């Protein structure tokens, strides 16, 4: 019996566009910006920040030599947040409705810069705060590990106190889903351009 829904953030709840971020960093002078950003994972200091291998200050220091002289921390953070497009209000309301029937959780590869600024702002735009939509949250920078590594899923199982066999995990990356499935989760791929509500409506484990 399915009791829990575990959601990825970017590409599932929040719309993202890596090209916006690449363009923003190119404007700041990062010549090889495209090499740092993938649709599902980042590289270099961007990756290190997501799993707390470096602090925000170290992140800024690592990038600054590659950027135009005088680039500020605020400009770096603003460019980084261009990865995030936003969350339609209808998805926020769908999460509210789901909590009436299930425990709803979030498992995200993200970083503290986006988390406390743009992500918090998007969740607040329907009069609530981010934590109002979930029964528990796990972020990569808190867990010190990243999807698709099994370590972050094991952390989520323990931290959220969930049974994988009672949980459906929604993600837009098949690699992440494969790891989750190996640990006993039911899984659901949310392809680009598809709403998680559509996937939810036809998922066999939920609707059987």
DSSP of 21-72: HHHHHHHTT-TTGGGGB-SS-B-HHHHHHHTTSS-HHHHHHHHGGGS-TT--
DSSP state of 118: I
Domains and CATH numbers, the chain: 4-15+87-207 (3.40.50.1000), 18-83 (1.10.150.240)
pLDDT band at 119 (very low <50, low <70, confident <90, very high): very high
Euclidean distance between CA atoms 96 and 70, whole angstroms: 44
Question: How many other C-beta atoms are found inside a 10 Å radius of the C-beta of residue 35?
Answer: 11
Binning pLDDT at 50, 70 and 90, where does residue 204 land? confident
**Residue 208: its pLDDT value, please?**
60
179 or 208: whose pLDDT is higher?
Answer: 179
pLDDT (0 to 100) of residue 38: 65
Across residues 186-200, what is the average pLDDT?
Answer: 94
Tens-place pLDDT, residues 132-161: 999 999 999 999 999 999 999 999 999 999
At 188 the pLDDT is 96
Are 102 and 162 contacting, i.e. CB atoms less than 8 angstroms apart?
Answer: no
CB atoms within 10 A of CB 32: 11
3-state SS track over 119-158:
HHHHHCCCCCCHHHHCCEEEEHHHHCCCCCCHHHHHHHHH
Confidence at residue 51, expressed as pLDDT on a 0 to 100 scale: 95
Of 29-43, 90-104, 164-178, the one with minimum mean pLDDT is 29-43
Phi, psi of 108 (to 5 degrees): -135, 135
Rounded to two decimals, the pTM is: 0.94
The rounded distance, in Å, linking the Cα atoms of 22 and 47 is 15
C-alpha closest to that of 60 among 81, 78, 76: 76
Model confidence pLDDT, tens digit, residues 11-49:
999 999 999 999 999 999 998 888 888 665 678 999 999
* Rounded alpha-carbon distances, angstroms, from residue 163 to 113, 166, 185: 31, 5, 8
Examine the residue annotation and report whether 73 is marked as an active-site residue of this protein: no
Strand partners, 186: 168
Q: Is 141:171 a contact under the CB 8 Å cutoff?
A: no
Q: What confidence score (pLDDT) does residue 22 get?
A: 94
Place of tokens 């837009």: 172
List 8, 77, 171, 172, catalytic entry: 8
């Amino acid at each position: 019996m399915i009791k829990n829904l575990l959601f990825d953030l970017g590409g599932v709840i929040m719309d993202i566009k890596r090209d916006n971020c690449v363009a923003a960093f190119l404007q700041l002078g990062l010549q090889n910006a495209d090499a740092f950003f993938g649709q599902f994972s980042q590289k270099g200091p961007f990756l290190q920040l997501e799993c707390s291998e470096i602090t925000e200050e170290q992140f800024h220091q690592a990038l600054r030599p590659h950027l135009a002289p005088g680039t500020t921390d605020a400009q770096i953070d603003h460019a980084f947040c261009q990865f995030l497009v936003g969350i339609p209000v209808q998805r926020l309301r769908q999460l509210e409705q789901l909590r009436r029937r299930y425990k709803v959780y979030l498992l995200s590869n993200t970083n503290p810069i986006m988390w406390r600024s743009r992500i918090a702002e998007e969740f607040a735009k329907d009069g609530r705060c981010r934590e109002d939509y979930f029964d528990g949250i796990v972020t990569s920078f808190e867990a010190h590990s990243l999807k698709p590594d099994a370590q972050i899923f094991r952390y989520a199982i323990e931290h959220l106190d969930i049974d994988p066999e009672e949980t459906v995990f929604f993600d837009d990356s098949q690699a992440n889903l494969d790891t989750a499935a190996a640990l006993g989760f039911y899984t659901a791929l949310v392809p680009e351009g598809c709403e998680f509500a559509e996937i939810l409506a036809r998922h066999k484990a939920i609707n059987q």
